[in-house]
A and B are shown apart, each in its own frame.
Chain A
Amino acid sequence: MAVDAKQLAAERAARLKAAVELKEPDRVPFTGIGGDVIAAYAGITSYEFNFDYEKQCQAIIKYVKDFPSDQPVIGMTGLGNHVASMAFSDYPDLYPIISRVDGPTNDILGVDYCRFPGRELDENSSPQFIGREYMSAEEYDELIADPVKFCFEKILPRIVRAFRDMKAPEAHAAMARLALEKAKAGAAMRDMFRQLQELGYAPGGLSVFFAPLDFIGDQLRDIPNLIKDLRRYPDKVKAATEAVLEPLLKVSVNAKGPGVETAMIPLHLNEYLSPALYNEFYWPTLKEGILRLAELGMKSQVFFEGRHDAHLETILELPAGWGTAYFEKTDVRKAKKLLQGHTCIMGGIDVGMVISSTPAKLDEYIKEILGEMMPGGGFILAPNIGNLPRETPIENIRAVYEAVEKYGKY
């Protein structure tokens, strides 16, 4: 890494860190905006982006070069394979190869909830997670007794075609193929990270954690069933959230690469729950998870999907400076009123605007947000959802970056 690239990387990292520590950096830290548009910008299909490592890396580098921000914009490279991560949580060295499914690895595994462009989907779609009910209500006791064993023995065979019969040669061959395939991807990735370093981005990444109830809702029971379970088998659900907490934390540790200090926690069920249910079933183990991650040396970055307005106050139960609250539909201004000086706030750019607005309006829009959100620090500018579709007008993206440049100085 050249000296100026190194320095640039250090400046960027310091900027993000200052915000998390609730301070005012030199400029507002900006995560950048991207997504499917990265492939479109490089003139390749989503299928190519998802199946051709080299093209994917080239597309990302091109985009990052033209749209620099404080974090490299990578886009959506595969889907999480969280049941596998849990099933193999006692094998930390396997995490890098089983935790995510991308196009080629899905060809090997055949994951029931995955849809990929050029396969199940049109070649310009983004990969999709389409969950189903993989666990019956009768199985709560088994889940509670040993979540890792249960995920391995019962859920994986239901989710992964290659694991339908775990004893079979197909399953064993799939594991070897997975590793061989990931090694190919790894070579391209290493090359990409080297280039990113030259562009002034420090190596690193995010660990992950899930609210225990989300793990049950997304991966096992499917959300509508889980909602019913909350009323039908409240004690079992509660016991299950407690049981999965430990292995989920183990996965977070497995996912923590060298230099990684942040765990991303995407929330799903939050919006579905009344404060009463949220506080009884969802928040206790999520809160404990956040506190335990802190003990493990990781700050949390919680992505509050949907509207989190009804539960904002609970964030104050965490110690000040605990981490970052990243909002989707909840208005960051509203959040700031409550959380200023306690929690770093992230988000602010409504992706809908970027897609449908004009450069002039976007300039105005960013100016306004920054004007309200920057003062006092503790703010990271980011899109409210991660994915800009392929058709997003490039001039609008450029307008956002230019506005951030113009108005982002403290």
Chain B
Amino acid sequence: MREELLKSFVDMDEQEAVRIARELVESDGGAVAVLETCKEAMEEVGRLFEAGEYFLSELIAAGDMFNQIMEFTLPKLQGDEVASIGTMVLGTVQGDVHNIGKDIFKVMAEASGINVIDIGIDVPHEKFVEAIKEHKPELVGMCCLITLGVDSMKRTIEVIKEAGLRDDIKIIIGGGRVSQAVMEHVGADAWADDAARGVRLSKELLGKE
């Protein structure tokens, strides 16, 4: 059944995947199996995306399936069964309201075991600082799709530094406007303009890969 779930998920057969997951989750130890299979499937989808076989629509569809399945799976799991590999505060920076890419990255990061605290879009610099203080994450993710947002990221990182929090965290940036040059310009630690790579790098920053 795990095989079938994996296959239908990766093949984007939403109805079938959800049906199998519902069935599986009721069996003994099923919830853990569903969780792991879905993570594996998300990873595979990410791989296919990086290979150019899958496109954004598949990422979105996969994310949606993942969320649907988790909705009935997570309540069935014990606390220690969902242990995360680390926490990330994630937001689209001030002045930028694009959220699709961030949301895709978020599900994939969650699927890989990162506990993501999503603080939304058009996030003011101070709100990043507050969230870091509150959630004490290992990682901060910033998303930026418009040129204007580049400056915003730079400023946010400065504000984090001023608050004395920069050394406690690693910062990864993503979205359509990021590059090696932008990463250096704003003073981040890693960059990715696709979600799969972003998840890989995040895990590396957490020392989990």
Contact present between A and B (CB < 8 A): no
